[in-house]
Amino acid sequence: MIGYRFRRTTILGVRSLGLHKLRSALTALGIVFGVSSVIAMLSIGEGASYEAQEEIKKLGSQNVILRSLKVLEQTGSAANQDVVSYGLKWKDYERMQSTMPHCRFIVPMRVIPTEARFGRRALEAQVVGTTPEYHDLGNVSLARGRFLSSNDRDYLRPVAVLGAGIARALFPAVDPIGQEIRLGQFYFTVVGTLAETGGASGTGGSQADDRNRDVYVPLESLNARFGELIVHVETGTRTMENVQLHSIIVSLVDDRYVSAAAADLEALLKRYHRVADYQVIVPLELLRQRERTKQIFNIVLGSIAAISLLVGGIGIMNIMLASITERTREIGIRRALGAKRRDIVLQFLVETVVLSTSGGLLGIVVGVAIPWIVEASTKMPTIITGTSLVVSFGISVAVGVIFGIYPANRAASMDPIEALRRE
């Protein structure tokens, strides 16, 4: 019986909304915008932070990254010197290997930008001298052949593993494995190629952004051939740099040792470096910072969107109040014919809930469409979470109830005699 009455009341509500189609549509539009902006904003925010987090994750959450830093203000007459010497030393690497606990492995890297050439094809590449453990960091995966081995290191073999971009550029048609390429003025044999890696951030080259342009060679082989000095030739000036290692990645057995290890490393480096010509990067901390930023970002975006929902709710209340004034007589008639107060409350509440619910459903459609359009047109990643759909729809229904209660109560509390007298 109650179900039947509720159904009839709902039909009645929908019908009376149908009497003012434009008005109802405009009122629901407020909710449509509210819900769709909540969904769209959250999905864009989620997408942006997801991208950033992926980048950080690539650095490895259980790693501590040390990077050489060029210190501009050198003490004394350093500026006059021909050779600029700074950064992490081979000795630092050795000390770490002997003192650091909880290490899986420590991977040193030295990067020399130079030309890679095969036959007539040539392009700028980052030659990364490193150890076989680099592969175990999990940043790169082999497409063909093998990675560097300990034998390569021990025998100073001139072997190279090509990044996907280099491999594609130098060997568009030929199988690169076993071919000899020239790096700078030295010949190296290709033993493997890497799979394409996405994203723009790499740990391979300290400055290199694109790991696809890296060429990996054994660190010892690199040092033996290229020597210690790197010569940069820029317009008019020639600078020589002596950087023993550009970066060291310390990979720990578990990410709970990361903070302690970072502090130890910092202390260790501080003792042997006069100036802070190094940088300690803890991806895990960056990740945590990102999480916090993301939370704040989401709260801000969410509340902006929630305000538009609130405005939509006020719109509903406004229209319902006007509608009630307009329909005072109808309310009086219904009361005289036996409607209880709660029947009137239900009648008007149903109208607001129908308005806000249909607005909410439409808002979900629009809210899903907006990120899709944004992603298609700007390549900005967006992620629509199920929670944002459920939450925003739930809020829209709640808005209908909350903003409907006052007008509905006002309608129901009218004196039937007064209501009947009203023209």
Partner 1 sequence: MSLETAPTSQENIGRDEDLVIEIESLTKEYRLGAETVRALRGIDITIRRGEYVAIMGPSGSGKSTLLNILGCLDRPTAGTYKLGGKDVSKVSDDELSEIRCQKLGFIFQSYNLISQLNVVENIEVPLFYQGVDPRVSRERAVELATLVGLGDRLSHRPTQLSGGQQQRVAIARSLANDPLFILADEPTGNLDSATEAEILAILNDLHRAGKNIVMVTHEERIAGVASRVIRLRDGLVVSDKNERDERLAASASAGPAEGRSA
- Residues binding partner 1 (CB under 8 A): 1, 4-5, 8, 15-16, 19, 329-330, 332-343, 416-417, 420
> Toward partner 1, which CB reaches closer, 22 or 233?
22
What is the rounded radius of gyration, in angstroms, for the C-alpha atoms of the chain? 34
Question: Shortest approach of partner 1 to residue 300 CB, angstroms?
Answer: 45
- Cβ closer to partner 1: 20 or 95? 20
CA dist 158 and 220 (Å) reads: 10
Find out whether 206 and 109 touch, Cβ atoms under 8 Å.
yes
Q: How far apart are CA 117 and CA 120, in angstroms?
A: 7
Q: The tokens 């030309």 sit on which residue? A: 115
3-class DSSP assignment, residue 69: coil
The angle formed by the CA atoms of residues 311, 317 and 323, to the nearest 5 degrees, is 140
Cβ at position 5, least distance to partner 1 in Å: 6
Closer CB to partner 1, residue 211 or residue 334? 334
Nearer of residues 19 and 173 to partner 1, judged by Cβ: 19
Q: In the beta sheet, which residues pair with residue 189? A: 159, 180
Q: Minimum distance between the CB of residue 324 and partner 1, rounded to whole angstroms?
A: 15
Using DSSP's 3-state secondary structure scheme, residue 61 falls into: coil
Cα–Cα distance, 327 to 371 (Å, whole number):
41
Question: Residue 261 or 344: which CB sits closer to partner 1?
Answer: 344
Rounded least distance, CB 338 to partner 1, Å = 2
> What is the CA 22 to chain-centroid distance, rounded?
41
Between 48 and 333, CB nearer to partner 1: 333
**Least gap, CB of 10 to partner 1 (angstroms):** 13
Residue 387 in 3-state DSSP?
helix
Nearer to partner 1, 184 or 416 (CB): 416
- For residue 201, which of 301, 7, 58, 15 has the smallest C-alpha distance? 58
Report how far Cα 241 is from the mean position of its chain's Cα atoms: 36
Burial of 282 (0-12, 13-18, 19+ CB in 10 A): buried
To partner 1, the closest distance from the beta carbon of 375 in angstroms equals 45
Q: Please name every residue paired with 218 in a beta bridge, in sequence order, or none if there are none.
A: 130
Q: What is the dihedral of CA 268, 252, 66, 54, to 10 degrees?
A: -150
Please identify, using beta-carbon distances, which residue of 70 and 340 lies nearer to partner 1.
340
List C-alpha distances in Å: 176 to 163, 364, 383. 11, 51, 39
Q: Minimum CB separation from partner 1 for residue 13, in Å?
A: 12
- Please state the closest distance from residue 2 (CB atom) to partner 1, in A: 9
Question: Closest approach of Cβ 52 to partner 1, in Å?
Answer: 56
1 vs 233, beta carbon nearer partner 1:
1
Farthest CA pair distance, the chain: 106
